Amino acid sequence: MDALLADLRRTLRERFGTDDENRVDAALRMSRRRVVVPVRFHAISSGRRGRVGPSTVRRQISTLNAAYGGRKGGVDTGVRFRLAGYDVTDRESWFWHPQRHEGEMKRRLRRGGPGTLNIFSAAVGTDMLGFSTFPQWYRGEPRMDGVVVDYRSLPGGSNRGFDRGYTAVHEIGHWLGLMHTFENGCEPPGDGVADTPYEAEPATGCPSGRNSCPQRGGDPVHNFMDYAQDACMREFTAGQGRRVRAAWAAYRAPNRRAKAVDLRTEPTTRARSVGGAR
């Protein structure tokens, strides 16, 4: 995680002349640049099993827009998603073993550049519901970029407790540059975001009143970047929104010429530290 955060700071300095995410975010907001992510959805099947239909895909896109738009109870991150493509591939080996065949699957199906989100649905498993690349990895392995989720975790799926489409919300959080809320446990810098409280271990189910670290703030069990069940998840924080927008500007935004940020410009908002100094 330290290497990922260091790479983000270095890339922001190279592109904008500062690694202050508040100032970068303020400059981007003044330029009225919106983050609209085109999504290419690849349903992997084994015969009829896993053959995700277009209506389910549209529901997943709506779920993403609601979660990242703050309509579930958290902040509006400023990110929106637009379905740009949908296809079904009947390949038994890919369907049952997406990790083993990840490279072959992605090289064959993936489309677009760093700002195009490729989602693959398959039988990932029950212990692990999905996996994702980070934006920092794109330069080294662009053809491996994307998110893989278990088809049973999509809205209306059969995975009880994880059937509202929030697995994709969580994994796309990684694709946009977010870490788990329980990263580093109670040790600084936690997940590297100032307003997500420290958390000693992942949440399971939907615990109430849990406070596993001595720093200020209860555990962020309702955060989409934790491991709670879908019924418990509902929010991103303002700091996570800024991190997503900064990572997008650094790694995934269209290749426009970046302008240096005026270091005298004060950001429009500041993150309030809930979990202590990070």
Task: Kindly report, residue by residue over 126-179, the tens digit of the pLDDT.
Answer: 778 999 999 999 999 999 999 999 999 999 999 999 999 999 999 999 999 999
pLDDT tens-digit profile of 67-122?
999 999 999 999 999 999 999 999 999 999 999 999 999 999 999 999 999 999 99
In Å, what is the CA distance from 149 to each residue of 32, 117, 131, 253?
32, 13, 7, 24
Q: Are 123 and 86 within 8 A, CB to CB?
A: no
Collapsed DSSP state (helix, strand, coil) of residue 117: strand
Residue 141 a catalytic site member: no
| Lookup result for tokens 């296809």 | 87
Q: Quick one: tokens of 126? A: 């029950």
Pairing of strands 79-90, 117-122: unpaired
| Residue carrying structure tokens 């997940």 | 191
Question: What is the Cα 221 distance to its own chain's centre?
Answer: 16
In sign, the C-alpha dihedral spanning 160, 162, 165, 168 is negative
**Residue 257: partners with Cβ closer than 8 Å, 6 or more residues away:** none
In DSSP terms, 41 is beta-bridged to: 86, 119
Q: Measuring CA to CA, which residue among 39, 4, 2 is closest to residue 177? A: 4
**Given pLDDT bands bounded at 50, 70 and 90, which one contains residue 270?**
very low
3-state secondary structure of 41: strand
Tens of pLDDT, residues 20-37: 999 998 887 766 667 999
> How would residue 8 be classed by pLDDT, with cut points 50, 70 and 90?
very high
State residue 162's pLDDT score.
Answer: 96
Q: In this predicted model, what pLDDT tens digit does every residue of 199-248 receive, in sequence order?
A: 999 999 999 989 999 998 899 999 999 999 999 999 999 999 999 999 99
CA 14 to chain centre: 23
- Asked if pLDDT for residue 269 goes beyond 60, the answer is no
Flag whether the pTM goes above 0.75.
yes
19 Cβ partners below 8 Å, 6+ apart? 8, 9, 10, 12, 13
Is omega for the bond preceding 202 within 30 degrees of 0, making it cis? no
The two three-digit tokens of residue 191, written as one number: 């997940």
Task: Give me the catalytic one of 171, 187, 199, 235.
Answer: 171
Helix (H, G, I), strand (E, B) or coil at 96: helix
